[in-house]
Amino acid sequence: MKFAEQLEQIVKARIEKDSLTLPALPAVAFKSLELTRATDFNMNDVASLIEKDPVLAAQVLKLCNSAAMATREPCKSISQAVTRLGSKNLRSVLLEISARRIFESRDAKVAATVKALWEHSRAVAQLAQRVAVVSGASDPDTAYLAGLLHDLGKPVVATMLLEAESQIAQRNPKLWIDFPTWIDVVQRCHRPIGLDLARKWQLPEEIQKAIEECADYDPANRLSTGNAVRFANAVAKQQGIYAGSVNADDNDALVMVGRSLLGIDDETLTRLSSDLKEKSKEAA
Amino acid sequence: MPRILTVDDSRAIRMIVSKQLQPLGFEISEAEDGNDGLSKLQGAHFDLVVLDVTMPNLDGPSMLAKMREGGNKTPVLMLTSESKTAIVTMLMRLGITDYVLKPFQGEELKAKVLKALKLPADYTPASAAANPSATPAASAASAAAAPSGGERVLVVDDMENVHKKVRSLMPAQVTLDATLNATEAMTLCRTNKYGLILIDAELPNTNLISVTKQLRLLQTKTVLVAMALRTANNVTGEMREQGFDDVLFKPFTNEAVEALVDRCFLENQDLLSVQENFLRVAGFHGREDKMERYFQRLLAKLKEIVAKLAEACFDSAVLDATALPLAQPMRAAQFMADVARVAADAGVTVRVVGSSEMAAVVGRFEEAKSLCLFQTVEEARAAA
C-alpha cells in the first residue's frame, strides 16, 4: 500500500472510530456563544466575558470596525461593540474569529496551505453573501458564515495527516508524500470531520447542511444557503482561489448549473465576482 | 430569421418554448424525442437546438452525441430538470452552449437563446429590421447608455409620515414605493429598478453600511441618499463614508427635493444614445420649467457626438428624435435649427426621424428646413 493510502486509511479509521480530538471553540468564545443563545441575555455579561480574553477582545473590536460592519463612529470598547453588533452579528464574529484560529499553523509545511484554504473560504463567504443578496437565497449573513465554514474540516485533517506522517516517518524516514497527494487526501477526508466540528460547535442546521452536501445542488430548494455556497465555491475555484486540485470540467458544470439554479446572469456574476481574489487576500 | 428546434417529450414544454420565442420572430420547430430531433435536423438547417435530457426512445445526451458524431455543430441549449454535476459535465464535453434548469423563467430562456444565437440582449424583430448590422457589442454600448431606473423612487423609513411627505414633494410623474424596513427594501430592489433610493439614516436595528453595500449589488445605477437630521457638522461626509451618494436633510424643503429629483432624473439621464452613426434622443420627463436645461444639455451632447462622428469619417447620421418633447413648439423648433447648424458645421448630413407634428415644428424655422425628415428609422436608413 502506498504511503498516502496508509495515511488516508489512518485518518478514515480515526473518523470511523470517532477517536478524533476535534479543536474546541476558544473557551471565552464558547461561553459567549452560549450566553447569546438565550433570548433575554444581558449584553454587559457577554462584554465582560469577552474582555477576559484580550486577543479575542481585540479581534472582536477589529471586526466590528472593519468595512463590513462599521458604522459612523468606530467602536472603542467591547461593550460598545457588543451592543452595536447585536446578538446575530456577534455570534458570526465569534465564529469567524474561532474558525480563523483553526486555519493557522506554526508548521511551515502546512502554514501556506491552510492560509490559502482560509483565503478560499473568505472568497466563498463573500460571494455566497452577494449571491444571497442578489438572488434572495436565504439570509446573506448566514450564507457568509456558511461559506466561511464550509471547509472547516480541511485544516483539521491537514494537521492530523501531518502528525500521522511524522509518526510513520520516524520509523521509516524514506517515506514521504508530495504536496498534490497530501492535499488530495485532505480533500477526500475533510467533510465528515467538518461536519462533526460543526455539530460540536453547535453551528446552525443550515450551515451544517452546507458543509455536508457539496457535490450536487439541491434543485428542490433552489435558493438554499447550501446552493449559494456550492455555487460560490465553484466560482472561487474557477478563479484559482483555492489550494488543491480541481476537476475543471466538473467545476465548470457546477458554475453553469448554479447560474441557472440561482438566476445569476453572466453580467451579474462578473459584477459579483470581479474583485474576489483581491478581497480574499485583503481579508486574509 | 433564426430557426430553432425544440426537442422535448413534454408537449407543454415545447409549447412554452414556442410561446416564449416566437414573439422574437424566430421560426420554431418541435420534436418529441431524440430520434425525431435527429430526423428534423437531417431535413433542414437550424440555428439552435433547445434540448431536454430525459426522453423516451432516444434521450438528449444520446441525440447530442449522434449529432456531434455526424459532424453537426449546431449550438445546443439544454433545457432540463437534470442538475447532477456528472451528467452536466458529460453534456458540456459534448459541446452544449448553455443550460437552463426547469422550472425556468421565460426571461432566462430568451436571454440564453439570444446569447447562443449571438444576438444582442435587447433584440426584437423591430430592432433587427431597423439595424440589421447590430452586433452584441453595439447593443451592450446602447444598453449602458440607456437610463437605468426610470422615474422610480424607493423610500425606506420606519415612519409612514416620512413616506407621505416625500410623496407630496415628488413630481407627479415619479413612481414612488415606500417601505418601513431594509428587508422589504431588498425584496423590492430585486424586482424593480430605482433611479433614486432614500433611506432613513437612523433606521432601527440596521447596519447602514451593510444595507448600502447590498443595495449597490442590486441597483447598480441608482442614487442612494440618506435622509438625516442636521445633528453633526459633517453629516454628509459621514453618510458618504457609509456608502451614500448624498444626504437629504430632515425636515425636507421643496427646493432640496426638487434639486435631488433634477440631479437623479435629469442631470444623470443619458439624453442621447449612440450606436455607430445612429443616434436616439431620450424623452423629457421633468417639470416644464426644467425643459430649457434639457434642451441645452441635449444640444451640448449632440455637438460632442457629431464632432466624434466627423472625426471617425462618418459623413451622415440618423437622429431618431421621435421622443423629443413638443410641448414648447418654438423651443423644439429652435433645437432642430441648432441640429441643422451643428451638422452643417461638422459636414455631417443628419437625417431626422420624427412625427408629422415634428415636421410642422421644423417647418417654422428657415434654418431647420435644411434637415431631411423621415417618418421611420427604416426610411431614414434607406435614404442613406
pLDDT digit string, tens, across residues B28-45: 999 999 999 999 999 899
Question: Which of the four CATH numbers 3.40.50.150, 1.10.760.10, 3.40.50.2300, 2.60.40.10 does domain B3-118 have?
Answer: 3.40.50.2300
Statement: residue A14 has pLDDT above 50: yes
Q: Which residues of A touch B91 (CB under 8 A)?
A: 253
Cell numbers at A62, concatenated: 477589529
CA distance linking residue B269 with residue B278, whole number of Å = 18
3-state secondary structure of B315: coil
Residue B228, phi then psi, degrees to nearest 5: -135, 165
Residues of chain A contacting B, Cβ within 8 Å:
67-72, 86, 89, 130, 133-134, 136, 140, 215-217, 219, 249-250, 252-254, 256-257, 259-261, 263, 265-266, 271-272
Cell numbers at A58, concatenated: 481585540
CA distance linking residue B83 with residue B61, whole number of Å = 14
Region(s) of chain B under CATH 3.40.50.2300: 3-118, 152-267
pLDDT at A26: 81
Q: Which residues of A touch B207 (CB under 8 A)?
A: 69, 71, 89
Question: Looking at CA atoms only, how far is residue A132 from chain B in angstroms?
Answer: 10
Cβ of B209 within 8 Å of Cβ of A249? The answer is no
In order of B17, B263, B298, the CA distances from B301 in angstroms are 42, 17, 5
Statement: residue A277 has pLDDT above 60: yes
CA distance linking residue B332 with residue B292, whole number of Å = 10
| Residue B84 banded pLDDT, cuts 50, 70, 90 | very high
How would DSSP label each residue in A216-231?
S--GGGTT-HHHHHHH
pLDDT by residue (tens digit) across B167-181? 998 877 789 999 999
Q: Return the residue matching grid coordinates 430525459.
A: B54
Sequence letter at residue B291: M
3-state secondary structure of B7: strand
Question: Looking at CA atoms only, how far is residue B144 from chain A in angstroms?
Answer: 12
**Candidate from A8-17, A23-32, B137-146 with smallest mean pLDDT:** B137-146
| Residue A184 banded pLDDT, cuts 50, 70, 90 | confident
Question: Looking at CA atoms only, how far is residue A70 from chain B in angstroms?
Answer: 7
pLDDT at A96: 86
Statement: residue A258 has pLDDT above 90: yes
Instruction: Work out the average pLDDT over A213-242.
Output: 91
Statement: residue B134 has pLDDT above 60: no
Give me the residue from B88, B104, B238 closest to A257, CB to CB. B88
Task: Pick the more confident residue, B137 or B72.
Answer: B72
Sequence letter at residue B293: R
Instruction: Work out the burial of residue A238: count CB atoms within 10 Å of its CB; fewer than 13 is exposed, 13-18 middle, 19 or more buried.
Output: middle
CA distance linking residue A69 with residue A222, whole number of Å = 28
Nearest CA in chain A to B107: A263
Nearest CA in chain A to B97: A256
pLDDT by residue (tens digit) across A195-223? 888 888 888 888 888 888 667 899 999 99
Statement: residue B131 has pLDDT above 70: no
Nearest CA in chain A to B218: A134
Instruction: Work out the average pLDDT over B236-257.
Output: 89
Statement: residue B142 has pLDDT above 50: no
Cβ of B85 within 8 Å of Cβ of A216? The answer is yes
pLDDT at B130: 52
Cβ of A130 within 8 Å of Cβ of B241? The answer is no
Assigned CATH topology for domain B152-267: Rossmann fold (3.40.50)
Task: Please give the domain boundaries of chain A with CATH numbers for all domains.
Answer: 24-102 (no CATH), 109-284 (1.10.3210.10)
Residue B79, phi then psi, degrees to nearest 5: -130, 100
Cβ of A216 within 8 Å of Cβ of B238? The answer is no
CB–CB of B130/B146 below 8 Å?
no
Question: Which of the four CATH numbers 3.30.750.24, 3.20.20.80, 3.40.50.1820, 3.40.430.10 does domain B272-382 have?
Answer: 3.30.750.24
Q: Which of A208-217, B119-128, B236-245 is predicted most confidently?
A: B236-245
Q: In what order do the strands lie in the sheet with B223-229?
A: B175-179, B152-156, B196-200, B223-229, B246-250
Percent of chain B with pLDDT over 70: 92
pLDDT by residue (tens digit) across A85-126? 888 788 888 888 888 888 877 777 778 888 888 899 999 999
Q: How many CB pairs under 8 A join A and B?
A: 76
CA distance linking residue A212 with residue A194, whole number of Å = 8
Cell numbers at B166, concatenated: 416625500
Question: Looking at CA atoms only, how far is residue A281 from chain B in angstroms?
Answer: 20
Cβ of A257 within 8 Å of Cβ of B108? The answer is no
| Average pLDDT of chain B, as a whole number | 87
- Residues of B184-199 as b/e, b for ≥16 C-beta within 10 angstroms? ebbebbeeeebbbbbb
Statement: residue B49 has pLDDT above 70: yes
Give me the residue from A72, A217, A250 closest to B238, CB to CB. A72
The pairing of strands B316-320 and B246-250 is unpaired
Cell numbers at A280, concatenated: 480574499
What 8-state DSSP symbol labels residue B324?
S
Cβ of A71 within 8 Å of Cβ of B209? The answer is yes
Residue A222, phi then psi, degrees to nearest 5: -55, -40
| Cα B55 from chain centroid (whole Å) | 37
Statement: residue A245 has pLDDT above 60: yes
CA distance linking residue B332 with residue B353, whole number of Å = 14
pLDDT at B148: 43
Task: Find, among B285, B150, B125, B299, the residue nearest to B221 by Cα.
Answer: B150
Residue B131, phi then psi, degrees to nearest 5: -140, 75
Task: Find, among B139, B138, B136, B144, the residue nearest to B116 by Cα.
Answer: B136
Would you put residue B304 in left (φ > 0), alpha (ψ -120 to 50) or beta?
alpha
CB–CB of A138/A130 below 8 Å?
no
Our CA angle for B331, B294, B268, nearest 5°, is: 170
Regarding an ipTM greater than 0.95, the answer is no
Statement: residue B135 has pLDDT above 70: no
Give me the residue from A130, A219, A252 closest to B217, CB to CB. A130
- Residues with Cβ within 8 Å of B120's Cβ and at least 6 positions away in sequence, in order, are B114, B127, B134, B135, B136, B138, B139, B140, B142
Give me the residue from B190, B238, B241 closest to A136, CB to CB. B190
pLDDT at A186: 86
Instruction: Work out the average pLDDT over B19-26.
Output: 93
Task: Find, among B307, B337, B310, the residue nearest to B321 by Cα.
Answer: B337
What 8-state DSSP symbol labels residue A77?
S
Task: Find, among A278, A280, A256, A262, the residue nearest to A131 by Cα.
Answer: A262
| Residue B122 banded pLDDT, cuts 50, 70, 90 | confident
Candidates A142, A246, A256, A269, partner chain B, best to mutate (most B CBs within 10 A) = A256
CB–CB of B81/A219 below 8 Å?
yes
Cβ of B92 within 8 Å of Cβ of A70? The answer is no
Region(s) of chain B under CATH 3.30.750.24: 272-382
| Residue B150 banded pLDDT, cuts 50, 70, 90 | low
pLDDT at B377: 87
Cβ of A134 within 8 Å of Cβ of B88? The answer is no
pLDDT by residue (tens digit) across B222-236? 999 999 998 777 888
| Average pLDDT of chain A, as a whole number | 84
pLDDT by residue (tens digit) across B345-378? 999 988 999 988 888 887 777 777 777 889 888 8
